[in-house]
Chain A
Amino acid sequence: MSPELPDNVAVTKLDELVNWCRKNSLWPMPFATACCGIELMATGASRHDIARFGAEVFRFSPRQCDLMIVAGRVVMKMLPVLQRIWQQMHEPKWCISMGACASTGGVFDTYCVVQGIDRFIPVDMYVPGCPPRPEQLIQAIIDLQEKIQREGTIAGREFETLKYVQTKRALQE
């Protein structure tokens, strides 16, 4: 026997609902240390407008954020600050490494520049480019939303996101 439901009621999993809420209200923490920060500002401004993806509320307090966008090179004196801010953010939290310098150190292969922040904090999405266009950052946010949608306590599939996204892009092309 199946119960009768009115037309405006949908049945879903709690995980799916929570993830849907989370992915559409990302609050970025701008950790902008170099020229990528300018592109990050452009992404937040009216022309590119990441409000379309629910991520427009830039907060400068780590307690109010759930998405850290590291934009620019991180030097060894800045890294303890970065780690402290990352630890101050509440779970659930994600991290986007924006640009070549944050991801690998870029051209700054010198004694004081950290060669990729993923050596010291977890990173969810890498954005290539020097600096990346706002469209690339928006694509990273869209892909991150896909990843968040597939997270879960029992049937988490966020690590299959890459395969899923690649298939989707291949179909689009």
Chain B
Amino acid sequence: MTTSQTISELKKAFPALEFSEFRGETRAVAPVESLFDVLKDLKERLDFDMLVDITCVDYLRYPGAKDRFGLVYLLANTETAERITIRAFVNDPQPAVPSAVSLWEGANWLEREVWDMFGIRFEGHPDPRRILLPDEFTAFPLRKDYPLQGRGERHNFPVLTRAESG
């Protein structure tokens, strides 16, 4: 199947998808309600067997942006070398999307990373812990409203002096 066939198949199944193309890369914006069904269709019917990446963009104070967070799913079909980008937009408070771990096992750590950095909850994730930052961290540092130098987390440690370090 070629990319144009994939697009027409997707359009037939999900009329709500908005397609666009930039430099030969196809993007589709999916509503959050049908995001899981779109991903499932791509995985099981259209053979997109590889989840390349899940990441997120914070559009706070971005000119012309309507939504706060834009999720990015990069998918690939290893048989036909097709690639497609699925996007979904979520908003405060409590941004959440369904987890894709049941489709691709590799989504596990990617979703944990997005949760760690942006605070987007993946509903149905089997292990929703932080992956990079310490467990006691409370903020989501890649959000645009988080200060670059943090809120003092980096200085919040006991000080060892010469006298007591023996």
Q: Which A positions have Cβ atoms within 8 angstroms of B?
A: 76-77, 79-80, 83, 86-87, 91, 109-115, 119-122
Contact = CB atoms under 8 A, between A and B. Distances in A.
A80 to B, nearest CB: 7
Contacts of B150: 110-112
Contact of A87 (B141, B157, B160): B160
Nearest to B154: A76
- The majority secondary structure among interface residues of chain A is loop
B24 interface: no
Given A76-B134, A91-B166, A111-B141, A83 B158 contact: yes
Contacts of A80: 157
B65 interface: no
Interface in B149-166: 149-151, 153-162, 165-166
B81 interface: no
Interface of B: 132-134, 141, 146-151, 153-162, 165-166
A111 B166 contact: no
B154 to A, nearest CB: 5
Closest A-B pairs by Cβ, 10 of them:
A111-B150, A122-B162, A91-B166, A121-B160, A76-B154, A77-B134, A120-B157, A111-B141, A120-B159, A79-B157
B135 to A, nearest CB: 10
A112 B160 contact: no
6 contacts: A83-B158, A86-B160, A111-B147, A111-B153, A112-B153, A114-B155
B160 A83 contact: yes
A110 B157 contact: no
Contacts of A114: 154-155, 157
B149 A111 contact: yes
Given A111-B149, A120-B159, A122-B161, 12 more contacts: A76-B154, A77-B132, A77-B133, A80-B157, A91-B166, A109-B149, A110-B150, A111-B153, A113-B154, A114-B157, A119-B159, A120-B158
Nearest to B146: A111
B28 to A, nearest CB: 34
A111 B158 CA distance: 17
B161 A111 contact: no
Contacts of A86: 160, 165
B166 A122 contact: no
Contacts of A112: 133, 141, 150, 153-154
Contacts of A79: 157
Contacts of B132: 77
A113 B146 CA distance: 15
Contacts of B161: 122
A113 B159 CA distance: 16
B162 A111 contact: no
Given A86-B165, A111-B141, A111-B147, A120 B153 contact: no
Contacts of B148: 109-111
Nearest to A79: B157
Contacts of B134: 76-77
